[in-house]
Structure 1
Amino acid sequence: MSKKALYLLGIAITIILGTFLYLKFCCNCCEETPKTNKEVPVVISETNFVPFILNGSGIEYRTNDNLKFIKNSYAIILPVSDSVSLGIENLKTFLISNPKQKVTITGYATSDETNTTTFENLGLARANDVKNYFVLKGLAASQFDTKGEITDKWKMDSDTLLGPAEYKFEALDTNSATDEWSILKAKINGDPLILYFNTNKSSESLNAEEKQKVADLVKYTKNIKDAAVLVVGHTDNVGNSDANIVLGQKRAEFSKNYLSKNGIDSARIETQSKGQDEPIADNTTSEGKASNRRTVITIK
């Protein structure tokens, strides 16, 4: 056999042997890796917000932001977001257009929070602070009631409670007459006469708007025989609580005397004092304290 034939035979044997070894040892490499139907877990992210909702007959507003409170505190965290402020402005417009509408504010607190206020519970204190904030923004105090409830838990962000307050819209007495006098009463109570005082002092210097409010009170009481006027005195937080109750009463009595001199029978004027317990502004600033030194005058 020639060398050339031997060379070709060697090549053929090499190819055959290589094919045999490949099929024997590497065949598994050609097999498709079986697919497994592995389930991918679905992660449901919990939304960490409580929406601010105003939902009544004639008003509907919702935003995912809300009023916030530090744990164990009754005071709203300021500043309030733009979206919540817009909702409050919508509520103001709605209530001015509907003086017979009332809103009940229910404040919430968790059972593990500490109540350091003079209110029955921390939820009620928060509801009152929300009401005071609304009044500071120009809403009528007479159109709000407050309640407080304790719950086992509330949605939180770290140590901050998110929106622990709800708003229920209730119709006022629909049987009351809608005549001139009920309209005047709604006007008086919707935008009450408020007299402000310097520290430990009082003043009877009224502007034109305040004088018109006094005139409205006189007109109402002269035409409604059973009408009674309520004067509530308030103070800032300078001094102790008992002394401020006395001071608030003095301011209420001063306002009563002023109204009596201007045409309202003193026997039809009731006075009360809340002292420092119902601030409408921040007592850590001079402007806030000045806003809190006041008497509020309404028709009972």
Structure 2
Amino acid sequence: MSTYKIPWWIALFAWIGLSTYWHVCKIKELCEAPLISKEVQRPSLHIEDGNALSLHSAGTIDFAKAYFEANVKQVQPELDSLVRYLRVHPQKRLSIVGAYAALESNPTSYPDLGIARAEYIKQLFVKQGLPDSIFTTSSRLIGNAEIREDSLLSGVSFGFTEVVPQTEDALARAEVFESVFKPLDLYFPSGSSDFIRTDENAEFIKEAKRFLSENPDKKLMLTGHTDSDGDEARNVVLSEKRANQVKKDLVKAGLSVSQLMVVAKGETEPKASNDTPEGKRANRRVSIVVQ
């Protein structure tokens, strides 16, 4: 090939390359980096009450944009478990917080769509027999960015509080027997060394007696507690005295003395705040559990 033709060949290849680029990249628009479609990550459902309750689901409670009714099919088992939990813990109170975004219209008579959503969820529980009085509803404003694909990413959240009964008798009757392996608290009338009898603690004692008779290597632990009034060492003695009184009562009920253990905790493990009279009453107790 003669040297004078080389520039023409270079020009030809350059023209072919530029033509190909223009056709593919500019006309067909095939040269841009492909957009990776990212699936919207919806938060999973978490309902927790300290160590007492932990409910989790990969699904969530769905609310359509500008709509207050929810789709709960994905989380119905968890909501059913929550209903059962509230039934056996009548002292619990559940707060329901509904979310709403500023861009959403409010077709309801409620002050905002968040309240409407919280009220809708509350009514699902009330229809299952839970009292209206154990619920509170409120709302929170979220960013418009949390509305994706015309639905809310996180439409409702839950919180728990606990009502402390006002008297020792009410405290005793708020205790619910679930299992001999879950502690149950015994309470005493003011000025008395005999614990308050209820159907629930009677059932606990009956089941504990049966279990211990079938399992002679097991023990029933009786742990005495006090409030924070008075000297700490004196409270240890007082808590032991209460636990020993319960031990005597259980021996009379037919439980083996060799399977009853007494522990005195004094004021060191309060159940409620010692800053209120109600909390102090809740702390003056004897816990019983099979170990």
Q: Same fold (TM over 0.5)?
A: no
**TM-score category by the smaller chain?**
0.3 to 0.5
TM-score by length of 2: 0.43
TM-score by length of 1: 0.42
